[in-house]
Structure 1
Amino acid sequence: MHASLVSSNTTSVEVYEKKRAVRWQYDLGKKRNFEQVFGKKKALWFFPLFSKDDLDNIPALEGLEFPTRADVEV
């Protein structure tokens, strides 16, 4: 279940809300969703750490801004 949530970039509550055909606005694709959660450096995936590059390049880590899909209206 958790792998499914990470790959679709949703929470467990949002899974029940998005029972519609339109893709979720925060679903950036499996690869980018996974990188948003675990970072881009594979060596750090098993540790609760982020690299300096991840902290600079992933705004979602601040918890204030989250990237959205360009083709979905908010």
Structure 2
Amino acid sequence: MHVSLLSSNTTSIEVYEKRRVVRWKYDFGYKTNFEQVFGKKKALWLFPLYSEDDSSSIPALHGLDFPTRLNVEA
């Protein structure tokens, strides 16, 4: 279940909201969704740490700004 949620970039609550739309606005594809949760450095995937590069390049890690596909595509 959690792998499914991670790959679609949703929480368990958002699954119900997602059923109403054709394409979820926070879904960037499996790889990017995974990197938003675990970071880009494979060595840190098993630890609750992020590299400085991840902190600056992934705005969702700050918990205030969550990019959507609409913002990226525009």
TM-score (norm 2): 0.88
Identify unmatched segments of 5+ residues in structure 2.
none
Q: Deviations over 1:18-67 (max 9, x none)?
A: 21451110001110000000000011000000001001111001101111
Match of 1:33 in 2: 33
In the comparison of the two structures, how many residue pairs are matched?
71
Q: Which has the higher helix share?
A: 2
Identify unmatched segments of 5+ residues in structure 1.
none
Q: Give me the whole-angstrom Cα distance separating, in 2, the residues matched to 1:39 and 1:12.
A: 21
Q: How does 1:52-71 map to 2 (within 5 A)?
A: 52-70=52-70
Match of 1:8 in 2: 8
- Between the two proteins, what is the percent identity of the paired residues? 73
Q: Give me the whole-angstrom Cα distance separating, in 1, the residues matched to 2:17 and 2:70.
A: 21
Q: Give me the whole-angstrom Cα distance separating, in 2, the residues matched to 1:16 and 1:56.
A: 31
Q: Which amino acid aligns with 1:7?
A: S
What's the RMSD between the two structures over aligned residues?
A: 1.4
Q: How does 1:44-59 map to 2 (within 5 A)?
A: 44-59=44-59
4+ aligned runs moved over 3 Å, structure 1: none
TM-score (norm 1): 0.88
Q: Give me the whole-angstrom Cα distance separating, in 2, the residues matched to 1:70 and 1:21.
A: 14
Q: Which amino acid aligns with 2:2?
A: H
